[in-house]
Structure 1
Amino acid sequence: MTTPESAPDQPAQPTPPQPGGSQPTGWGEPPRYGQYAPGYDPAAPQTPAAPQYGTPQYGTAPGTPAAGQYGQSQYGQYSPPTAQVPGYRPPADKPGIVPLRPLSLGELYDGAFGAVRHNPAVTLGLTAIVVVVAVAIGTLLSIPLTTWFTDLFGGLFAEVESDPTMQDLGFTQDILGVTYGSMLGTGLLLLLATPLAMGVMAVSVSESVIGRKITVSEAWRRVGKRAWYLIGFSLLSLLAWLVAYALLVAVVAGLFAVDVTLGVIGIFLALAAAVVGGVWLFTRVLLAAPALAVEGGGFWATVARAWRLTRGTFWRVLGIYLLTSIILSVIGQIVSIPVSLLMSVFMVQSNDVGLAVSYGITYVVSGGMSVLFLGGVTALLYIDTRMRREGLDVQLQAAAAVADK
């Protein structure tokens, strides 16, 4: 090693300042290239400096992580996340059509379509059979009702039939009879059959959530055990609407008997009460149908439990249902265009049988879409609400683990 004294081209080093003396020339200036710093003795033994944070220790090969460095973990050790992203959701098991955790709106819709793809034999086949059979029986039932309505409208609409303008628009005695007869007959059967189809959809969705596919016979057997509960709930709901409507009409009639102004005010108050009260009551019992189909409890106990499920989640349940209904109405308008053209042809020709058939096709299309998509969303909304309020996701994970074995 060449020392500063033996280096031929290296100038002499300045002498360090002595205590009490003056500072020599050149002290404090930065050393030039090839010079040692002032006060540095290359012959003295060197002591390694303490490792700095983020730099490897003395003797550590470059590129090798040093132990105990700040912000780094040793090899094989777990490094926890430093922060949570807003809206972050931990990964959840997804043995079936949806992840087993509280669901978002997109996951509800995706799960409704996924339920149809996962088990089309039940969701498409069995529900379609229920709706078609109900519409067929309703169409047959509408024949005597058509005759009754035609005779009823014979005297009431005698002047309408004599008006050429009304005839051009298709308002005839036979057309009105077929219209009201089909609406009453087919509507009554659909009122009884739709809860059964919804129950089939709820049972299939509840099994598809854990990745299990049930057969058509199993789905029908399970729904058949709860059929009277589902039909009874539908009839009870209809009875409640009729009673409420009769009470509002009686109140308005009483107000008109007292004063005309009070009667007019009563009409607006009755309409507001009907809308607000009807929406509130409908939302609170919306989850009762899937609960009656899936659960095995008694009728009143299950309805009361479904009522409690919507407590605290009223606006979420109502918003999702209204949005789904709007989407279905838009799709229904697009799909019903060919059916409407067919109905217009039969109305011009005054073909009663063809008009009844066209009404039946319309009911099949609208009822089938309502059962498939709206029924699937309602069933998933029931499961989602239970996961949020009762921790159903833990039970579903256990059921999925058993189903995999």
Structure 2
Amino acid sequence: MTHDSGPGDTGFPGAGEYGGGWGSAPQWGPGAWPPPPPPTAPQPGVVPLRPLALGEILSGSFATIRRHWKQLAGVILAVQACVLPVMALVVGVAVAAVHRHIGPVFDLPPGEEPAAEDVVALVVAACVVLVLLGLIGLLGMAVLAALCPAVLKEAVMGRPTSFRALWRATLRRAPAVAGALFLTAVIAAFPVLLALAVAVPVMVSAAAADRATALLGLPPVLLLAALPPAVWLTTRFALAPAAVVMEDAGPITALRRSAALVRGDWWRVFGITVLAGLLGSAIAWLIQLPFNLVGSVTLVAALQGVPEGAGPSAGAVTALVSGLLIAVLGGAVGQMFQIGFTQLVSSLLYVDQRMRREGLAEALLAGLATDQAPTPQPQPQEPPAGR
């Protein structure tokens, strides 16, 4: 039977529903010592319900992709089908709005300067397009970041799900995930922005005093100094999207939950996240490689078939379009795997940290036992004795 989560069903107990609450140790009874672990931890889904090792996190992510690839691919394709045309429309509208200013800026005779109004129009249009594309990309990434925790909470419990249920759960939490991603980006970018705020005025004043050469190394030094705090903050809030989806938390609450779960295990979370990114990139490249080879061979064959000085034939145009489509398809498939895999690893890190700190495994086992308990059947009542 397909599990269809309702609006209030998160699938995971929230903070404080089991154990000690916000990242504190669970209460195990007198003595506060945990009971000895069972010889073999129960595994109703893709991972055993106990603190996870690195290999179990990676294998659990692969197992989730293998079991739910249709639902994952369906949602990712639906997101790309919505996001990419909207981005293309934004760029097309912007180009159409400023097309009369493009020639006076980029197609000028040598030595002639473009008019100020043409330059301003292009700069304003470029800024608006960048902002709109950034917002659209953030919304698309928020849907994908909400997708993986939504499917993982079913995969951990061994429950099936459907595209419809997954799509509804993902869209319901996508705005909050977008808020968490935006706040994370703003907070993590603050050290870099602070470094730029110091470096730019210094460079401007030095240029005015003809001392710019002596201070050319200042911006790189400041940016390098700002990089470690930015990475530290990004890792500290890396589990926020999973908290948003699995606990129905708001953006700020999710950032606090992520910070509490990462505290004390920053290097472990950072190392596994980096390893997952490298592994996902390598596998995505391997996925794209045959597509790129076939597309390149098709393009070369089409170009060689065009006679010198003659226009391309219909067959050559068809081959060119086919080669480009094959290469684009390979890139889309590789990107789908990379995004899905890295987000699943991040979500499993969230599950692992909660099992280590908050007794989530025991809470999930209790809920699973309740779900599997047989429903008591009503006993037939004896008819009343006749008078």
- The TM-score bracket by the shorter chain reads 0.5 to 0.7
Q: Is it true that 1:365 corresponds to 2:333 in the alignment?
A: yes
Confirm or deny: 8 A CA contact 2:188 2:229 kept in the other structure: no
Deviations 1:77-136 (A, max 9, x none): xxxxxxxxxxx9831001111100111111111111211233334323223322332223
Secondary structure of 2:216's match? helix
Q: Is it true that 1:324 corresponds to 2:240 in the alignment?
A: no
Confirm or deny: 8 A CA contact 1:201 1:375 kept in the other structure: yes
In the other structure, the counterpart of 1:90 is: 39
Confirm or deny: 8 A CA contact 2:240 2:251 kept in the other structure: no
In the other structure, the counterpart of 1:196 is: 143
TM-score using structure 1 length:
0.62
Report the alpha carbon displacement of residue 244 of structure 1 after superposing the two structures with TM.
4.7
* Distance (whole Å) between structure 1 residues aligned to residue 240 and residue 59 of structure 2: 22
Cα distance change on mapping 1:187 and 1:365 into 2, 3 Å:
farther
TM-score using structure 2 length:
0.65
* 1:387 paired residue among 352, 355, 369: 355
* 2:61 paired residue among 112, 130, 141: 112
Cα distance change on mapping 1:149 and 1:325 into 2, 3 Å:
farther
Deviations 1:197-220 (A, max 9, x none): 221211111121111123333323
* Distance (whole Å) between structure 1 residues aligned to residue 129 and residue 324 of structure 2: 6
Report the alpha carbon displacement of residue 150 of structure 1 after superposing the two structures with TM.
7.5
Which stretch of structure 1 is more off in the superposition, 272-281 or 116-125? 116-125
Task: In structure 1, list runs of 5 or more residues that go unmatched.
Answer: 1-87, 162-179
In the other structure, the counterpart of 1:82 is: none
Greater RCO between the two (CA within 8 Å, min separation 6)? 2
Which stretch of structure 1 is more off in the superposition, 309-318 or 326-335? 326-335
Write out aligned runs for 1:218-297 (5 A): 218-240=165-187, 244-256=191-203, 257-258=205-206, 260=212, 263-297=215-249
In the other structure, the counterpart of 1:313 is: 265
Confirm or deny: 8 A CA contact 1:287 1:306 kept in the other structure: yes
> Whose helix fraction is larger, Structure 1's or Structure 2's?
2
* Distance (whole Å) between structure 1 residues aligned to residue 131 and residue 287 of structure 2: 23
In the other structure, the counterpart of 1:84 is: none
- Corresponding letter in the other structure for 1:113: F
* Distance (whole Å) between structure 1 residues aligned to residue 52 and residue 75 of structure 2: 27
Confirm or deny: 8 A CA contact 2:188 2:233 kept in the other structure: no
Confirm or deny: 8 A CA contact 1:122 1:200 kept in the other structure: no
Confirm or deny: 8 A CA contact 1:127 1:371 kept in the other structure: no
- Corresponding letter in the other structure for 1:391: G
Report the alpha carbon displacement of residue 286 of structure 1 after superposing the two structures with TM.
0.5
* 2:152 paired residue among 191, 201, 205: 205
Task: In structure 2, list runs of 5 or more residues that go unmatched.
Answer: 1-36, 111-126, 304-311, 374-387
Which stretch of structure 1 is more off in the superposition, 143-152 or 126-135? 143-152
Which stretch of structure 1 is more off in the superposition, 90-99 or 209-218? 209-218
Report the alpha carbon displacement of residue 313 of structure 1 after superposing the two structures with TM.
0.8
Q: Is it true that 1:401 corresponds to 2:348 in the alignment?
A: no
* Aligned residues: CA RMSD: 4.0
Confirm or deny: 8 A CA contact 2:83 2:140 kept in the other structure: yes
* 2:345 paired residue among 348, 357, 377: 377
Aligned length: 297
Secondary structure of 1:119's match? helix
* Distance (whole Å) between structure 1 residues aligned to residue 354 and residue 162 of structure 2: 25
Confirm or deny: 8 A CA contact 2:243 2:258 kept in the other structure: yes
Write out aligned runs for 1:40-55 (5 A): none
Confirm or deny: 8 A CA contact 1:139 1:185 kept in the other structure: no
Cα distance change on mapping 1:225 and 1:196 into 2, 3 Å:
same
